[in-house]
Structure 1
């Protein structure tokens, strides 16, 4: 694995030298269906580097990106890397006060904003004492900002700054499934580390692939799927800036004909339910992947029956940049997260730090070259998470005798009933296997005696009546996985609180419990 120099040289400029200048790198799925080739991308990113320098944005300065999945995203991201500037892609679905916290925490000096998102972030930008320039992507740049077109006009393409692979390249803010997001610092070398491991050895992405990821570019899973993996081999990525729903995702699959589809369990489950009443589009899928949360066994099997294509369920994190534990082509066991991705090592440990063997439950630790350089301004959390070469994931797993890992829940989601560990995910899978259930989440709640018992929040499929279902679901759990594991309380809800990555925010449900 090449571990020298600026990541933009490998992912962008290399393709021109290797004859792919005219190959489409990115194509937008909606609206004007704009596209950009690898040659034009190399030129535009070089110009972006020059534009940043002309604006006085010096190396190591932070540049926040509140940018939709559109052609400007890769231009800004890789252009910043070429200039030695540190881009920080931000979740486009947050509230204004959260952006204010992030902008002040990161001390970003320049902010790139898609025009559609300006109303949400305007007050946060004005409240930051560090922001010196705002660049708006769109037809109308509000007063006090610069239009993207004007910002890059007249700039000349510059070569990438020569950097060490261990230099900070970009930040990502964690999804906040357990609270406020944290700034995660990643180095240049981490990007190729993920494409050389999961991208090449599990996904097996090829130059002739077209990849569509409903997971957006602003977080780790989507960045790998929709940008670095296709760019590692000169493939084409489809960018979709709309909200991912079964209807919108299926429309893109039908129109763009991707060979690789990257989703999250929530969308897979909703799409499977949708296709019970709708026609399936024709798409030449050869591979599908899932991450964000563990994929329910029932959903994976139904998807396979519909598409004749497996979902490779895997586990990754913002801290590790992409997936490090996964099922693989020809080696899929639904209901498990698979085995270690080549290039990564895994351990399960108990509360004392001792290794846990097959049949036991422990916290998952991972070791690999894509680990983050730590959290920004949170030394205590950095020391608790990054232990030398090992990174604590905060996930509880069981190791089977066959060497596969079975997800049990987040460390703070696990609880004991009658002295026995209960996996919320195991109960959720049993609930989702009922034909009336679309989604479920399980947390601990205390009964009248102060003892912890399972409490379930259940989303039913469209048109299903909840009358009489509660006892039916409780009986199903007792029959399938054990009498003590059934939810003592079942609340039927319209939806579950989630992060933008599709992770269920169980801490919010615990507050209700």
Structure 2
């Protein structure tokens, strides 16, 4: 499926647009800033030269602490341009996490937005090695100003003669059971996702304007950068803290054609009182990932905006979505079918392939898979088993080949000898008019497993014993009678990751 020369550098995604005559086309819309493909190419080349001037060599890591601004693709592809390895991280993490990332990457250069520099400097206190901080934005003492650094460089640079199987970049994954793991990706991984998901599911085109968020995450990196760059499309970057009204205003003003988000934010938009007043008619495709999209949210979105949301599953290890619903092949509540270019199978606890309707642990293979976690040999062996990557997700497959998520293998609950899927219960509770958000987890009570529902109430509702009983009865009427929350806790918000994924482990 993928035909790349042996010597390949993925930063040439940008070059191809100049060769196609698109140099003057605006590729990035960010607030009032407009960046053309010519501008982007020049800045990527300047960044490569700047990193060399700071002593960065091939395969050395460059840590990125950046928001969703044009500086991100400039730093990311600029590092790759010289054969270095960018490692973007979530800038909202803690000071001690910063220290871990610097030590894990061995980076001698960190490119950081000015707002994170103070925390970074505290993290580097007493660090044994010299680290240069390049600050984006306002000048900061003891830091190299990014604008001046780039301004001193020439605007052309041939890409390093990297091999298509050379290490290209790292993305960090996990953190719920310890420190985040560095997922190593190769030069050919990005074009593989462009040829599979972007081509066969999105049908992305040169005329598209893409709007998504969170560039340090595999989902956002593909949606907002590599996919549009691969076909000469354009992207909207949104560095501010997202609010439903802010996102809706941006869509109405800039009129993107592809919109990417996560279930919790689609739900937040629907719960925005003024949401129906906004014009979203420019959007031809909406996409959801990071966690399963409840069918209730799918239906409400369709009723409100007349648009179907394509829900899918991907991972940092696979770089993007490998199983998805598609236009004309949609089943709300399911994760869809395998994306062309990827194979899926389900196995039981002993590794035997499950071929019937029973749930099994999902494994996936495709040529965008990471070869390993950095300095995590045992975890790599557990997850990367030959050509197959173990996802840890439990799935069943219906008679039409659609995949249905049953929860994480370690989230499933055995209550009274019967297995209970948290996703099934959450979908049932979300259909109740009093429930805005919910997470279902298993808890231990006197040595036995019981079910807890942690609920954010819809506006106009108040917690009460009567409501709790009504919600329990609601589940009993719609599911097997043992599938109901024994305990209900009401909160004002659920803990979430930067991408909006609910952190269930914090609720146990």
**TM-score under structure 2 normalisation?**
0.97
The SS at the match of 2:14 is: helix
Cα 1:144/1:388, change in 2 over 3 Å? same
Aligned equivalent of 2:8: 6
Is contact 1:358–1:401 with CA below 8 Å preserved after alignment?
A: no
Aligned equivalent of 1:74: 73
Is contact 2:9–2:161 with CA below 8 Å preserved after alignment?
A: no
The alignment status of 1:247 with 2:245, answered yes or no, reads yes
Aligned equivalent of 1:508: 506
The alignment status of 1:461 with 2:445, answered yes or no, reads no
Question: Quick one: which of 142, 145, 155 aligns to 1:144?
Answer: 142
Question: Partners in 1 of 2:126 and 2:507 — Cα distance?
Answer: 32
Per the TM alignment, residue 462 of structure 1 is displaced from its structure 2 partner at its CA by: 2.6
The alignment status of 1:451 with 2:448, answered yes or no, reads yes
Question: Partners in 1 of 2:147 and 2:278 — Cα distance?
Answer: 40
Aligned equivalent of 2:22: 20
Aligned equivalent of 2:84: 85
Question: Partners in 1 of 2:97 and 2:57 — Cα distance?
Answer: 26
Aligned equivalent of 1:112: 111
Question: Partners in 2 of 1:277 and 1:49 — Cα distance?
Answer: 43
The SS at the match of 2:188 is: helix
The SS at the match of 2:10 is: helix
1:235-292 CA-to-partner distances (Å, cap 9, x unmatched) read: 0000000112211211111111111100000101111121577523344110000000
Question: Partners in 1 of 2:84 and 2:479 — Cα distance?
Answer: 52
Is contact 1:364–1:393 with CA below 8 Å preserved after alignment?
A: yes
Question: Partners in 2 of 1:277 and 1:238 — Cα distance?
Answer: 20
* More moved, 56-65 vs 171-180: 171-180
The alignment status of 1:234 with 2:247, answered yes or no, reads no
Question: Partners in 1 of 2:196 and 2:255 — Cα distance?
Answer: 26
Aligned equivalent of 1:203: 202
The SS at the match of 1:484 is: coil
1:204-245 CA-to-partner distances (Å, cap 9, x unmatched) read: 1110000100x3101100000110011110000000001122
Per the TM alignment, residue 184 of structure 1 is displaced from its structure 2 partner at its CA by: 0.7
Aligned equivalent of 2:262: 264
Aligned equivalent of 1:437: 435
Cα 1:9/1:147, change in 2 over 3 Å? closer
Cα 1:237/1:198, change in 2 over 3 Å? same
Question: Partners in 2 of 1:304 and 1:435 — Cα distance?
Answer: 17
Per the TM alignment, residue 21 of structure 1 is displaced from its structure 2 partner at its CA by: 0.6
Question: Quick one: which of 331, 336, 339 aligns to 1:338?
Answer: 336
Is contact 1:7–1:191 with CA below 8 Å preserved after alignment?
A: no
Is contact 1:11–1:232 with CA below 8 Å preserved after alignment?
A: yes
Question: Partners in 1 of 2:292 and 2:127 — Cα distance?
Answer: 38
The SS at the match of 1:274 is: coil
* More moved, 240-249 vs 384-393: 240-249
Question: What RMSD, in angstroms, separates the aligned Cα atoms of the two structures?
Answer: 1.4
The SS at the match of 1:126 is: coil
Aligned equivalent of 1:53: 52
Question: Partners in 1 of 2:280 and 2:347 — Cα distance?
Answer: 45
* More moved, 318-327 vs 125-134: 125-134
Number of corresponding residues: 504
Is contact 2:291–2:501 with CA below 8 Å preserved after alignment?
A: yes
Cα 1:15/1:322, change in 2 over 3 Å? same
Aligned equivalent of 2:160: 161
Is contact 1:436–1:464 with CA below 8 Å preserved after alignment?
A: yes
1:341-399 CA-to-partner distances (Å, cap 9, x unmatched) read: 00000011000011112320111000001101211111000000000000001111111
The alignment status of 1:184 with 2:183, answered yes or no, reads yes
- Structure 1, unmatched stretches of 5+, are none
Aligned equivalent of 2:483: 485
Aligned equivalent of 2:192: 193
Question: Partners in 1 of 2:91 and 2:66 — Cα distance?
Answer: 7
Question: Quick one: which of 329, 347, 350 aligns to 1:349?
Answer: 347
Question: Partners in 2 of 1:149 and 1:277 — Cα distance?
Answer: 39
